[in-house]
Structure 1
């Protein structure tokens, strides 16, 4: 089984069968660090990016022109020199050419917990995207430097909810619900804000200031239980699909889950709809998981009788409903690991993880629901060239002192309330039955 990088090159060069969503995927990511914010080729390439999005400065030529073998040798030498002083974290969705250097691989929540549990590391090189590095900075020690190898590795979903839009929404909801801190006869406030881990630190801080909480795809139901015990409603952002799929499974009717479009007055809903709401869903989504369809599931079932279809809960509701199971990346990994030999899986999540699972479990037949190879645009911005650059700067040389590049730091006024929201999530336990 070849890596996604190799597969993309083979398809683009006509030596391998298949289809890619953009031939620009064969280009090195620094070719898109042009001074104009862009997500780059891949699943998010057509998403609108905020004008203030971080930009990555030009990578020195020695790293841009180095061969894969040379970069590998330099990275391994730097890691050997730095030893336990540096912890490298790799997200499941990273390309194999990056994951091979990670000391620990996991989903965003697992990696954040690992950062918190590694106080001895002087630096944490986070091979993921911007919001993940922010969360690692929130949970790690003040003397630990969190490094994002490419500052342009953002997240289009996270960018779909910004602090100004969320605060404006909160003010409009306050006009309908009244005092947001007033409790009713059951001891609940009008609304609890819940932000997905896939959001900027200032939105986590917003939740911390307003009695809210953070969730992940693996604990969303537990978090919503926590929120319904404290509020009559939930404002859930930025991913509408995770919120809808989770709340629906808990028994919340779709009629009580209005969508909030930040570009429309009252989010595009009526006062009556918002008063009756149980979950107000932000109009955001993941471009990777939006690609999966019910037709793809039907095709997989027709071609592979007995196939088990597992999708991520960021997929649209009809896809989740048509699948055999839905769960976080960690859920998907564990389901495949526990399956009897000879099982067949069609997976609805990012192609790098699916391809890696197919390689790690050759006793199974594992394939991606989407036949078009289209990786996460922003995860794909991390490349061995940036890793070598960041690590060698930490090592330093006779002519250049050790230097921390691309450090991600969350300001204290945001970090303090953001940690409150994260701590609430970490303390939330499943099993609290709440009437919704």
Structure 2
């Protein structure tokens, strides 16, 4: 099957890309592996005419936005639960609520984990897209606009970012109108179902079990978890941090299982890298894509019967690209 996949890729000039959270069998055959923005940038500038993206829907959209002339397909258009928590209608309703509070001007920042329509809405208000790795740079830029910052859809990333810069944050729909008015950063009430699994109790367990163990977590984790971690960073930053540790240094990592499981394999039966959870933090939608799905998709492309192509409204794509390009410029 793997050789057949390789032959079909070469025959049809297809670039196969996979997010870090994909199953090992997908990662092993991919031409590019990375986080969402890294893949979008590299895939959009590649020489191949067709991109086959193994990930979740908004990631395939990002490639199409940055490289509209490429054809982008996905073996499975899996959803990101966080991205599903907001759409253009919910965005408009949130802005209406803020206006009813007397907040007429906001500077919106949308996490890249959002669909193209939301990115376009953000662009219309002069806002920017961010990732977990460049969020601080984007926040620094936003603060210079002298407007109330509306961060969406991940409340945890927004809260953690605000706290790291000494800013007051609230969650729209949870905190009071008075607190919203007095805040610096207003967060939409979205979250990552996987990173919500990590608890302070997990950190305490590992700290009690292993002396001098380090805790590394993703900023999508709850604020109370992030506060107790030794290192906080994006997926790529976590990989660099863990790989830079001495082999004998124990570390517990708070992010998706597939990625953590590939970090620093055990040596001589000694395991020094652990998943920071009592349950398996596996993203169900990232794990939907199988080798058979990849093969089926390539066969469909080869026969001229391709499916799951990413098609975007041209106006939406153009506006979303403005917000993405601004992020790239600021990064």
TM-score for both structures, normalised by structure 1:
0.73
| Unpaired segments ≥5 residues, structure 2 | none
* Number of residue pairs matched by the alignment: 330
Does the 8 Å CA contact 2:40/2:66 hold for their aligned counterparts? yes
Q: 1:96 aligns with which of 24, 35, 43?
A: 24
The alpha-carbon deviation at position 361 of structure 1 amounts to 8.2
Tell me the alpha carbon deviations over residues 49-85 of structure 1, each in whole angstroms, 9 at most, x when there is no partner. xxxxxxxxxxxxxxxxxxxxxx334323323433xx1
Partner of 1:31: none
Kindly provide the CA deviation profile for residues 204-223 of structure 1, in whole angstroms up to 9, marking residues without a partner as x. Answer: 00111001000000011111
Asked whether 1:371 is paired with 2:273, we answer no
SS in 2 for 1:404: coil
User: Which blocks of at least 5 consecutive residues in structure 1 are unaligned?
Assistant: 1-70, 181-190, 261-266, 397-401, 430-436
RMSD: 1.7
- Residue from 167, 170, 193 that aligns with 2:95: 170
Q: 1:78 maps to what in 2? A: 8
Please tell me whether the aligned partners of residues 136 and 161 of structure 2 are also in contact (alpha carbons under 8 angstroms): yes
Higher Cα Rg: structure 1 or 2?
Answer: 1
Matched residue, 2:296: 389
* 1:422 aligned to which of 319, 324, 328: 324
Q: Against the structure 1 CA distance between its residues 179 and 324, is the aligned structure 2 distance closer, same or farther, given a 3 Å change threshold?
A: closer
Pairs within 5 Å for 1:252-271: 252=167, 256-260=168-172, 267-271=173-177
- Following superposition, the deviation at residue 269 of structure 1 comes to 4.2
Question: Equivalent residue for 1:342?
Answer: 248
TM-score (norm 2): 0.95
Partner deviation per Cα, 1:224-283 (whole Å, 9 max, x = no partner): 11111113311111100000001100111xxx32211xxxxxx34444322212111111
- Displacement over 4 Å in runs of 4+: 360-364
* Contact 1:343/1:364 (8 A) holds in 2: no
Q: Which residue number in structure 2 is paired with residue 115 of structure 1?
A: 43
Contact 1:342 1:364 in 2 (8 A): no
Distance 1:117 1:372 in 2: 39
Give the secondary-structure state (helix, strand or coil) at the position aligned to 2:29: coil
Residue 333 of structure 1 corresponds to 239
Shift of the alpha carbon at 1:360? 8.8
Cα distance, 1:214–1:91 mapped onto 2, change above 3 Å: same
Alignment match, 1:273:
179
Residue 194 of structure 1: aligned partner = 109
Alignment of 1:35-434 (within 5 A): 71-82=1-12, 85-118=13-46, 120-142=47-69, 144-151=70-77, 153-177=78-102, 179-180=104-105, 191-252=106-167, 256-260=168-172, 267-359=173-265, 365-396=272-303, 402-429=304-331
Change (3 A) 1:213 1:196: same
Alpha-carbon contact 2:108-2:128 (below 8 Å) kept: yes
For each residue in 1:172-219, what CA deviation from the matched residue of structure 2 results, as whole angstroms up to 9, or x when unmatched?
212334543xxxxxxxxxx10110000111110011100100000001
Judged with a 3 Å threshold, the aligned counterparts in structure 2 of structure 1 residues 287 and 268 are, in CA distance, closer, same or farther, namely closer
Change (3 A) 1:346 1:268: closer
